[in-house]
Amino acid sequence: MIKLRLKRFGKKFEASYRIVAMNNDTRRDGRPLEELGFYNPRTDEVRLDVPATVKRLQQGAQPTRTVRSLLEKAKVYEQLAGGISTPVANAPAAATSEAADAPAYLPLKDYLATDCA
């Protein structure tokens, strides 16, 4: 079973975490299948690759309690229920170039301010 969970890294007493997709029986700091984001509990900063996270959830990955609360803050479950909109074949090129310029990871406050939320 695939789990979405936190992988600890950083200095002693200054922990930060990566949000990763891992097999259930892999050790905490083992090699992940995919890195989906970042969480710093000291500054409460969350960066999340939302499309990749939604894809993993649609494939049946189970988040841990902490990751579930982070995903709820990022409103990922709203996109999961509504489905992800795919680009239309006849969409104008300007709309696709804006998406290409956007970074893969957005801070949570910036993500919530965008039209995607």
Contacts of 61 (CB under 8 A, 6+ apart): 2, 3, 4, 21
Q: Does residue 76 contact residue 106 with C-beta atoms inside 8 Å? A: no
* 2-113 is a CATH 3.30.1320.10 domain: yes
Q: Does residue 74 contact residue 51 with C-beta atoms inside 8 Å? A: no
Residue 103 reports pLDDT greater than 90 = no
d(C-alpha 14, C-alpha 31), whole Å: 21
User: What local confidence, expressed as pLDDT, does residue 69 receive?
Assistant: 93
Q: Does residue 52 contact residue 36 with C-beta atoms inside 8 Å? A: yes
Instruction: List, for residues 23-77, the tens digit of each pLDDT value.
Output: 988 887 788 899 999 999 999 999 999 999 999 999 999 999 999 999 998 888 8
Q: What does pTM read for this prediction?
A: 0.66
